[in-house]
Structures are given as C-alpha cells and as structure tokens.
C-alpha cells in the first residue's frame, strides 16, 4: 500500500511526485513507457510562457504565472537548461493590434510583470530579422525557454532521490475503490494506494472514466515542428509568436536552450499517439514562420517532429477531485509545461484537502548537478579528464558529449535504457548528424551497462528495436 499513486510520468506527474516527496509519504509513479517524459513533454515548443494567454480568473491563469516563477527557481536549483529570453507576439493587421491589447489586458490582470506593447520598428530593433510587415509586438520579458524533458527528468530524479518509486513499463488497466483505498490494476499486477493522481496526459480521459462518470474527452491536437542546426540558432534571440487563434498559440520561431532554432507548430486534429509529420503540415509551418522571420534557412533542418496537445475543448485545465481520494490533472494543454510545478504544488494542496497528511520531511534534497563537458573552461576540462579519463573520450562529436557524461547518466537516479533516453539526458545524437556517428557507440555503452547484447537495445520506446540479429558470422568468433 502506497500513500499516493501517480499515473503517468510526464512533466505533470513528475512535478506532482517531486512536490509530494517533500512530505512524509510513500509515493509511487506508474509509467506505461520505459522512461519519463515520453509523451507531450518531449515534443512541444519548449517555452515557459509569461502568462498573458489564459483568461483572467481561470486556474490556468493562476498556475501559469505561478508556474513560470517556480520553473525558474527549480531550473536553477536542479541544473536544468533555462534561459529567460522574453517573448514577442507580433501583430500584422489591425485585428492583430486589437488582439495585442486584449493579451496585454489579460496579462496585467493575471499579474504578468513587465509587459509592454512596442512598435514594429522597436520590435525590429530588438529582433533585426523580423519581417517589415510587423506593425507592433507585445513584449513579455518573463517568457523563457527550457529543456522540457530535462525539466521533467530533474523533477523525477529529485522525487526518486527523496524516496519516490517509479515503475516503468507499467500500464494501468483498471481502478477500483476497495475499503477506502484504490486497487489499481496494471499489466504487471495490482497496486494499492490511499490516493491516486491522474496525470496520464492524452489518456487522462481514459483513466478518469475508470473512476467517475465520463464528463470530458481529450481531443488531441497535433503540432509539427522543424528543428534547425545551430548555424540558425541565433536567427532570433527571443521567442517570436504570431497572434493566437482558437487553434493555439500559432507558429513560433524561437531559439532553444541547446542553441538550435525551433519553428512550429501547426495545429490539426489527430489520434492520441499519432506523432507523424506530414508534407502539408511541414509546408504550412515553413510558410507561416516566414511571415514572422523571412530569413529562416530551412535547408539547415536537422529534424522534424510532432507532438500531441492534450486539449479537451475548454479554456482551462481540469484539475479537481474526480472521486474520493482521486484527483485529475487533466486537459493539460499549453501552458502545461510552464504550469507544471504549480500544478504539482496544487495537486498536493488538493490531496491535503482530501485528508492526506502533509507533514514535511526534515530533509528534502533539492540539488542536481550535471557535468556538461562542452560548457567547461579549458582548465576545468583539463582537471576533469585528469580525474576521470572517460570525460576525455568524445562520443557525440556534433554536440561534444563525452563517455563520462553518458556513464554518469547511467548511474543517475532515473537511468536511461534506450538510445533516445541517453539523448534526452546528455544530448548525444541531438546534433546535425542525428546520431549517425554516435548511435552505434551509445548502443555499445548501453548494452554493456545493462548487461545485454546490442540487439536488445531499443531506440526509444519498448519495441523500437534497432538491430535484428547477428550477421551470418558470429562477431568475435573469428
């Protein structure tokens, strides 16, 4: 019996787990996939929104603004790549100018600091690559960019360090109320919990329906993206939005914390797990982005991807008690990433109201340091390699990631078990060759660490096998 069981280990589940790990509680997270951050968390715009989009008075407005502050705090404490670069919403038409006014008003009511409407010329002064057609812009200095999967990882690692247990490859198939507790059936047996948190992302409606009446439906909205090489990384220095519509926040052009340029997304209805890209979707992203920043060089593309928003056709998150001892953290669409730490905080508060004892632990470990060889000075590199030679061996040449960093990730509180898991932790394979060179080396390191043969190593999810079988000659037998 665990005090709290969290379903799903995306950034929302991880934030809730970290929050609850501050208290004298036993907490278990069940995650269907083999790693954290496997859904919407790993495929989004990687923006921490300032908070002028949500309607004043909504939970979303409050959690967005609070989340943005908390995210900044945690990213610093937990060594998560974060940069407060500010954002602009561009206006191209009279209607857009009205929208800027509305956003400004909302922002003021929501308590967003530093908002300013600036002229097109002023916007171009700050971002010289903006189109001549930009009439004005809403400037929000508190907007930031972040590594979303690393934020999730940092929360999950902190939770684990403070006693939380994460069970991977475990899918919830049923929930039953049993003598004041929850019996949680999974494909790996039954778990019992006093309280349950539904943080199942695009599947949060399915989980909700196991315990309460069907009253919302996730209507997934897919967004496609381009990720461009670092040579395009300084095309803009702030997050450049267009005016939002009912479909979403529109196509943005933004630097990433890793030094690349991200462009996207579109918005289109999709299946919950359909993260395919399409020629039409990518064309739309390209054409629309060029209205904001005409000079983006799409021949520098290094990757395309798509993510699925857990929209539920409403203007607010669905965070509430759904059944006794059961709360939904559902319909977490944008700005879900930004709001995540505030949602975690609020989840604990809701459980407290439900009777969960929130007694703080004497010690809560809130620190995390990752060695990033690339960011060290020559002197620091010299000392590091002298101390541990594995930091001298570069595995990923595009991103300058060393063997030492990969080995450190393998010894971390939430170790990777896939090639992309390694990528999310240390950036190996994220660069312009997309793992062409380092992929086989990473497979080798993983196989050695996990004590399996290389053909057991997966690219990302279970089932994503890389190598079919040995060639006709058994390696090493000659």
Partner 1 sequence: MYELIVIGGGPAGLAAACAAWDSGLRSILIVERDRELGGILNQCIHNGFGLTYFKEELTGPEYAHRFVELLSKTGVEVRTDTMVLEVTPDRKVHMTGPETGYVVEEAKSIILAMGCRERTRGAIAIPGSRPAGIFTAGAAQRYVNVEGYMPGKRVVILGSGDIGLIMARRMTLEGAKVLACVEVMPYSGGLTRNIVQCLEDYDIPLYLSHTVTDIKGRDRVEQVVVSRVDERRRPIPGTEMVFDCDTLLLSVGLIPENELTSGAGILLDPRTKGAVVYENMETSVPGVFACGNVAHVHDLVDFVTQESQRAGAAAAKYVLNGPAGGETIDVINGSGVSYTVPQRIRPENVEKTAGIFFRVNRIFGKSRIVVSNREGEVAGFNRERLAPGEMERIALPAKLLENVKGELTVAIQEVE
Q: Where does this chain touch partner 1 (CB under 8 A) — which range of 51-59, 190-198, 348-356, 439-447?
A: 439-447
d(C-alpha 212, C-alpha 469), whole Å: 47
d(C-alpha 157, C-alpha 304), whole Å: 28
Binding mask 299-338 for partner 1 (x = CB under 8 A): --xxxxx---------------------------------
* Residue 473 binds partner 1, judged by CB under 8 A: yes
Which run of H or of E encompasses 99? Answer: helix 94-110
* Residue 458 binds partner 1, judged by CB under 8 A: yes
d(C-alpha 376, C-alpha 381), whole Å: 6
d(C-alpha 65, C-alpha 52), whole Å: 9
Binding mask 262-301 for partner 1 (x = CB under 8 A): -----------xxxxxxx-xx---------------x--x
Q: Where does this chain touch partner 1 (CB under 8 A) — which range of 22-30, 150-158, 362-370, 465-473?
A: 465-473
Show which residues are catalytic: 49
Secondary structure class of 458 (helix, strand, coil) = strand
Q: Backbone phi, then psi, for 107, in 5-degree steps?
A: -60, -45
Exactly one of 1, 102, 452, 464 binds partner 1 (CB under 8 A); that residue is: 464
Nearer to partner 1, 39 or 344 (CB): 39
DSSP string, 307-354: EEE---SSSS-EEEEEETTEEEEE---TTHHHHHHHHHHHHHHHHHHT
* Residue 448 binds partner 1, judged by CB under 8 A: no
* The pair of three-digit structure tokens given for residue 464, joined into one six-digit string: 């994503």
- Nearest approach, Cβ of residue 439 and partner 1 (Å): 6
DSSP string, 10-33: SHHHHHHHHHHTTBS--EEEE-SS
d(C-alpha 199, C-alpha 345), whole Å: 14
* The pair of three-digit structure tokens given for residue 335, joined into one six-digit string: 């700005």
Going by their DSSP bridges, the two strands 144-146 and 47-48 should be labelled as antiparallel
Task: Show contacts with partner 1 in window 211-230 (CB under 8 A).
Answer: 226-227
Q: Backbone phi, then psi, for 178, in 5-degree steps?
A: -145, 105
* Residue 237 binds partner 1, judged by CB under 8 A: no
* Residue 432 binds partner 1, judged by CB under 8 A: yes
* Residue 73 binds partner 1, judged by CB under 8 A: no
d(C-alpha 353, C-alpha 345), whole Å: 13
Question: In whole angstroms, how far apart are CA 114 and each of 239, 366, 412?
Answer: 16, 29, 38
Nearer to partner 1, 19 or 399 (CB): 399
The answer to whether the CB of 316 falls within 8 A of the CB of 58 is: yes
* Residue 470 binds partner 1, judged by CB under 8 A: yes
Beta strand extents in 293-374 (DSSP E only)? 301-309, 318-323, 326-330
Q: Where does this chain touch partner 1 (CB under 8 A) — which range of 92-100, 138-146, 163-171, 383-391?
A: 383-391
Nearer to partner 1, 297 or 357 (CB): 297
Question: With contacts defined by CB under 8 A, how many residues of the chain interact with partner 1?
Answer: 64
Q: Where does this chain touch partner 1 (CB under 8 A) — which range of 78-86, 170-178, 253-261, 466-474?
A: 466-474
Nearer to partner 1, 321 or 432 (CB): 432
- Nearest approach, Cβ of residue 97 and partner 1 (Å): 34
| Contact set with partner 1 (CB under 8 A) | 226-227, 273-279, 281-282, 298, 301-305, 378, 381-382, 384-386, 389-390, 392-394, 397-398, 400, 402-403, 432-437, 439-440, 443-444, 454-455, 458-476
């Amino acid at each position: 019996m665990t005090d709290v069981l969290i379903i799903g280990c995306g950034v929302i589940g991880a934030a809730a787990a970290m929050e609850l790990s501050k208290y004298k509680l036993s907490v278990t997270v069940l995650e269907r996939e083999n790693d954290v951050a496997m859904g919407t968390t790993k495929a989004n715009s990687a923006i921490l929104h300032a908070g002028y989009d949500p309607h004043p008075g909504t939970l979303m407005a409050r959690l967005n603004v609070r989340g943005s502050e908390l995210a900044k705090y945690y990213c610093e404490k937990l060594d998560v790549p974060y940069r407060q670069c500010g954002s602009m919403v561009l206006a191209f038409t009279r209607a857009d100018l009205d929208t800027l006014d509305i956003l400004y008003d909302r922002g003021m009511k929501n308590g967003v600091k530093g908002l300013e409407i600036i002229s097109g010329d002023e916007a171009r002064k700050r971002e010289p690559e903006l189109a001549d057609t930009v009439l004005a812009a809403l400037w929000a200095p508190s907007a930031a960019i972040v590594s979303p999967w690393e934020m999730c990882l940092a929360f999950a690692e902190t939770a684990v360090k403070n006693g939380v247990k994460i069970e991977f490859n475990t899918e919830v198939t049923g929930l039953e109320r049993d003598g004041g507790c929850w019996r949680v059936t999974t494909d790996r047996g039954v778990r019992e919990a006093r309280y349950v948190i539904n943080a199942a992302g695009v599947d949060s409606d399915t989980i909700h329906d196991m315990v309460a009446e069907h009253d919302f439906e996730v209507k997934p909205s897919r967004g496609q993206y381009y990720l461009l090489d670092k040579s395009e990384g300084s095309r803009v220095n702030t997050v450049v939005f267009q005016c939002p519509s009912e479909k979403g926040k529109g196509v943005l052009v933004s630097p990433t914390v890793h030094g690349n340029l991200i462009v996207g997304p579109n918005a289109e209805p999709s299946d919950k797990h359909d993260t395919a890209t399409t020629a039409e979707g990518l064309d739309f992203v390209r054409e629309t982005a060029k209205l904001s920043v005409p000079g983006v060089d799409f021949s520098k593309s290094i990757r395309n991807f798509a993510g699925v928003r857990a929209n539920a056709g409403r203007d607010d998150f669905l965070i509430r008690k759904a059944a006794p001892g059961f709360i939904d953290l559902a319909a977490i669409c944008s700005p879900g990433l930004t709001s995540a730490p505030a949602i975690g905080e609020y989840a604990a508060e809701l459980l407290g109201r439900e009777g969960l004892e929130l007694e703080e632990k004497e010690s809560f470990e809130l620190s995390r340091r990752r060695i990033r060889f690339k960011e060290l000075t020559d002197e620091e590199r010299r000392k590091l390699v002298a101390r541990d030679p594995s930091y001298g061996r570069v595995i990923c040449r595009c991103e300058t990631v060393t063997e030492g960093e990969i080995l450190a990730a393998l010894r971390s509180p939430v170790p990777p078990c896939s090639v992309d898991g390694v990528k999310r932790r240390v950036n190996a394979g994220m660069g312009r060759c997309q793992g062409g060179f380092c992929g086989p080396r990473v497979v080798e390191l993983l196989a050695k660490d996990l004590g399996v043969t290389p053909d057991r190593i997966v690219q990302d999810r279970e089932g994503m096998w890389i190598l079919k079988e040995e060639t006709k000659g058994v390696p090493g037998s000659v």
